[in-house]
Structure formats: C-alpha cells, structure tokens
Structure 1
Amino acid sequence: MSKPLRSPGTTGTFRPRFRPLPAILLTLLLCALAPSVRADESYNIKEIAPGVFVHQGRYEIFTPRNSGDTSNAGFIIGKDGVAVIDTGGSPKVGAELLAAIRERTDLPIKYVINTHMHPDHVFGNVAFEKEKPTFVGHHKLPRALANRADRYLAINKELLGEKAFDGERIIPPTLLVDDKLELDLGDRPLALEAQSTAHTDNDLTVLDKKTGTLFLGDILFSRHTPALDGSIRGWLALIDKLQKRTDTQRVVPGHGPPSMHLPEALAPEKRYLSLIAEQVRAKIKEGRTLAEAMRTVGLSEKDAWVLFKEYHQRNVSAAFAELEWEE
C-alpha cells in the first residue's frame, strides 16, 4: 500500500484521491505520440565524462509501453559514493537506473538529486529508498510536490497503467538548497544551485566540478518542445546567463541527447521562447484574445520540435497569462 506524501518539517500528510481522466482526454494523450528516436527498447547508459553517466529518455509522453521513461537521468561516481540526478517517471524506470548503477559500482548511493518537480524526473525516487540516500532538491520543491500530489498521482496512474505505476508515491527532498550548496562524493565536489523561476519555480542545476559537466534538468530541452511551467521572462534571462558560463565542458539536458555544449545547446530553445514572447506581446498590444494567440503564435517553429501539439499551446497560454500584466 502506498504511503501518503509527507512534506519535510510538517506532521500532516497528503492523501492522494484518484480521479480518472475523462476518457476522451486520456485517449488523446495516449494516441498523440511522437516517434521514438531510440534505436532499441533496452535501458541505455552512456559515460559522457569519466565517472559521469547519462540515460537518454524517449521523446514521448507517458504510456504503459514506455513506463514513463521519457526524460534523461544520470549518476556520478566518486571515491566514496554515488549521486543520482533525476530518477525517471516510474518505480520501474527508477529500478532500471538503480540496476545500471549497480552494474558499475557497489559504492553507496549518497544522494538522489531532483532537478525539479515534474513526474518524469521524480517518480523513480521510490526505487532508491532502500539505499537510504539523502534526497536533495530546491527549497521550493517540497511545496510544489505537495500541492500537485493528488493530480500527479491520479493522472499518471491512468497514463502508465497499474503495472508501471505499482508502488508509486512521491518522495520529497529532505536536504533543501536555498541558494548554493556543495556536496562531496570523495574527491568529487558537486556544486548545486537553486535557480530563479524559469522552467518551473523549483529548478536546480548540478555541476560536477571535476569534469565540468552541468546537469540542467528541464532548463534545457533539445528536440522535445519546451514546457513552460514557470516564467518565460525568467527562463529567457536564465538562458542568457547560462550561455555566458565558462566553467562547463558539457551540459546534460532534461530532454535530448546525453551531452551537449554551450552556448549553442541553448540557441534553439532561446529562439523558440523569444518568438513566443515577442508574438504574444504583439497580440496583447493589439487587443487580441488568448484564444487567438493560442491559434496563431509561434507556428513557424512547428517543424523544429517533436511533441509540438502536446505542449505548444499550453506554452502560449502560460506566456499570455504572464505577459499581459507586465509593465
């Protein structure tokens, strides 16, 4: 039986109430798949730098077939232990990640770090509980997860099916990052930084200082249409800041190939978000409606991304709600 979500520092619990999705919505979500770019169905792992490993998720939405394996996850091995960065979209995917780690090391898993709140990055946490790691996240992550627990669990039970969903519960972090925090894996310092609102209001980046590898989570999407759940202005400002960094040899996106390079990795995403912001501002200035903006804004980007119809209109809506109040 799944335990209810308990937020750090509280005595209350969040008891999920499962409400089925309308059948038509569920059907649309399950049918609206982009083709997978993965060549096989096995759990792939690539060593992108010495001791730094990344699994590439599929460019798909959640379905029983993929078990929620739709985002990138990684781990870093030091002399004393392992840090995991994101765990996938289900207990099954998390267990596959754990098995991949154990094929490479018997060292203890000291930390499980979640880059933000979305289910495809945190639902695999449960597979790591028996390892007794410290779960780490942005200081706003516990509240974000608690506020969405009912919805996330209900929707994803329907999308994944009983088999992949079995045993699922949301595990919030117990070590919170207010600004910056350094963790050590044994001659392997990791620099964690809580970012201002961008993709979400709880984005966390992880830099392996030994190899200059920066895990960006969903601050960086490649090929997969970006998903705006925070602030379009904040996201664009953060992209500008990241493109000027000189301490990174490679970056790991939340969705995309295992490894990319700055500043060019962020260029397509910046183009896409900038176009939405520009065209939404124009619609607002002209007195146009949200409905019209959702029908017309950003359509020139359609062929540049997969899952465009699943995410794009929602991005326009979120941008419109934010920008109509800017001064």
Structure 2
Amino acid sequence: MRQGLNDLGNGVWAWLAHSNSWGWSNAGLIVDGEESLLVDTLYDLQLTGDMLSHMRDAEPRARHIETVVNTHANGDHCHGNELVSDAEIIASAASALEMSELPPETMAALIASAGEMGELGRYFTDCFGQFRFDGIALTPPTRTFNGQLDLQVGDKPVHLLEVGPAHTRGDVLVYSPVDRTVFTGDILFIEGTPIMWQGPVGNWIKACRLIEDMDVDHIVPGHGPLTDKRGVRQVRAYLEYIRDEARQRYDAGLSAFDAARDIDLRDFDAWSDPERIAVNVDSLYREFSATESVTDIFELFSRMASLAGYDTAN
C-alpha cells in the first residue's frame, strides 16, 4: 500500500501518512448505502483538507460525512474536526475530556517559543515544526460513550470498542466486521515505537490480544503501514519486553530515566523514535509504584531529546 488514499474494497478506505513518526497519522473511511463514517481527522487543517479532498474525489459518498469517530484525544487524530463539524463527532467520554488539555493554540505557542528552549526546543521543532497549529478551532465530540457503542453505516454494523486507558485515557478501536477491517488508532504503531502516555500496560496488551482474536483481513494502525496479526504481535512483544525490563530495574532501585537509558532495545532498535522508551518507562514506574503523580511533560520531552542525541544539558 502507498501513502495517501488506499481502496481496501467494499467501501472501505485507508488514508496512510508518508511517515510513521510524530504527528504523521493514518485515518479511514467506511461507506455503505448513502452513509459514510470517517475514522479520525489529522494534525492540522491543511493535512485534513487534503485528505478529505482525495476521499471526495474517489468516493462520492464522502462528500457529506455523517459521522466522525476520534479514536483518541491526541491532536494528530482530532485537530481537523472543524472541517467536518456538521457531522456527528463521536469519541469515548475519557477522550473528550482529555482533548482540551493540549489545544492547538498551546502547540502553536510552543513552536513559536521553541527558539528560546535550546536543544529541547530544537528537538520539539524537529518533531512538530512541520505542522500548522495556528488558526485551528478545537472542535470537540458531540457524542460520547463508555465501553462499547454500536453504529450503522448503511447496512453495515460498526462497533466502537473502548480499550483505554492505554496509549491515552480513552482509546477506541473501530471495527467493521462485514468489511473484516479494524482501525486501531494508536493502539498500533507499526515500524515505529509506541508511546504510553497513560497506561496501564496491561490494558494495552489486552487490546492487542483483542485485535489478534478478530476475524479481520485489514488492520489499519494509527501510525505506519497497514499490517497483519504479525504486526500486532510485534507491538505486544515490545510492550511485554519493556514492561519486564523496566520492572527489573525498578526493583533494583534505578530511576526511570536511568532505566530507560539502560534497556537494550534489541529487536526493536530499528523502529522509528526509539527515544519514546523514556516516556514508556516513566509510565511503567508510575504503575509499579501505584502513584498518581505525573512527570512534567517538558521533563519527559527533555529525556527523549537526550536519548535522541540532543544536548539538553546545555
């Protein structure tokens, strides 16, 4: 499959970003009869507008989208909502609450001030400087749910399955059994390092097993190329490996950052953005200690920048 719009057959489309790194997210479209459902918008208005234009050119039923599902609260999956604001926008209740915590204007301000942040600012700009956060109106969901929500797109049943907290607080899978397709949001990063902002890790592993047990031909991840059950198992293996390695170092008394620096990524070192292990270990340590205290986001980005080779000590 290539970047851009891919026809999966039977009225299902996958939009694949050109990169699996920070902010470059995938999306999807399910149509039947006269109805359409969009899975996620993108990180800024230009990206989302381009995606919608390609969808409408290829699929007439995408010219009026009735339903949008945001798989979770990160901006690269919902910042484009205003371009489909006449649709019913659905997310889990937990995601809807989380969306307001890092609005696009905050990202725009951080990019604008990155020059004053030294190497940390350079890392932040390298991650996010390609996106346009100014002028985006945060457009929240108009409908929320907990657990599971069953929808119809034409004659197709589509199941929204809340599997968070995991990557974020309210991650959702979008499963179309007739199409043998699941859109996973950021439960799956393929050929890229997952990042666990929330946890617990057990929920994420359980979500992977749920996908592994599905009768599907098409698995559309939140980031990276289309995958199959082997790709799901690789993500699960990463999570299990990092959990076990972090636990050993937690029991030995290492700090979260020292543990992140010490863990050998082995089979996963070729994945993009390996420095995300700093966040993953920090979240695991929070889980191990049963603390609600959250590490400052700038500290987490500083740790990732350091692991990525930026000299944040100066």
Bucket of the pairwise TM-score, normalised by the shorter protein: 0.7 to 0.9
User: 2:257 aligned to 268, 288, 291, which one?
Assistant: 291
Equivalent residues of 1:111, 1:133 under 8 A apart: yes
- 1:269-298 alpha-carbon deviations (Å, 9 max, x no partner): 112111111111111211222232121124
**Distance change (3 Å), C-alpha of 1:307 and 1:78:** same
Residues 94 and 128, structure 1, Cα contact 8 Å, conserved in 2: no
Matches within 5 A, 1:103-122: 103-107=57-61, 108-122=64-78
Change (3 A) 1:296 1:102: same
Which of 213, 218, 236 is 1:244 aligned to? 213
Question: In the aligned structure 2, how far is the partner of 1:182 from the partner of 1:154?
Answer: 39
Q: Indicate the structure with greater helix content.
A: 2
- The Cα offsets for residues 181-225 of structure 1, whole Å up to 9 and x where unpaired, read as 222221222111122311111101111232111111111111011
Q: Is 1:224 aligned to 2:192, yes or no?
A: yes
User: 2:14, 2:29 → 1: CA distance?
Assistant: 7
C-alpha distance in structure 1 between counterparts of 2:154 and 2:173, whole Å: 20
Gaps of 5+ in 1: 1-37, 63-67
Structure 1 segment 1-327 matched on structure 2, within 5 A: 44-59=4-19, 61=21, 70-107=24-61, 108-129=64-85, 132-149=86-103, 151-152=106-107, 154-155=109-110, 159=125, 164-231=132-199, 232-245=201-214, 247-257=215-225, 259-262=226-229, 264-309=230-275, 311-325=276-290
How far the C-alpha of 1:72 sits from its partner, in A, is: 0.6
3-state secondary structure, aligned to 2:249: helix
Asked whether the 8 Å contact 1:141–1:173 carries over to 2, the reply is no
So what's the TM-score if we normalise by structure 2? 0.79
Looking at structure 1, the residues matched to 255 and 156 of structure 2 have their Cα atoms a distance apart, in angstroms, of 52
Deviates more, 1:215-224 or 1:226-235: 226-235
Residue in 2 that maps onto 1:17: none
CA 1:312/1:58 → structure 2, altered by over 3 Å: closer, same or farther? farther
Moved more, 280-289 or 83-92: 280-289
d(CA) in 2 for partners of 1:161, 1:236: 32
Q: 1:299 to 1:105 in 2, by over 3 A?
A: closer
Deviation at 1:265, TM superposition (A): 2.1
Contact 1:87 1:125 in 2 (8 A): yes
- Report the CA distance shift for 1:184/1:315 in structure 2 as closer, same or farther (over 3 A): same
Q: RMSD between aligned alpha carbons?
A: 2.4
Kept in 1: contact 2:20–2:223 (CA 8 A): no
Q: Distance in 2 between matches of 1:319 and 1:192?
A: 27
Percent sequence identity over aligned pairs: 26
Q: Distance in 2 between matches of 1:320 and 1:153?
A: 31
Q: Which amino acid aligns with 1:79?
A: G
Q: Number of aligned pairs?
A: 274
Which amino acid letter does the alignment assign opposite residue 279 of structure 1?
E
How far has the Cα of 1:242 moved from its partner?
2.8
TM-score, normalised relative to structure 1: 0.77
Shift of 1:248: 2.1
CA distance in 1, matches of 2:163, 2:212: 15
Deviation at 1:124, TM superposition (A): 1.6
Unaligned runs of 5+ in 2: 115-124, 292-314
Contact 1:199 1:228 in 2 (8 A): yes
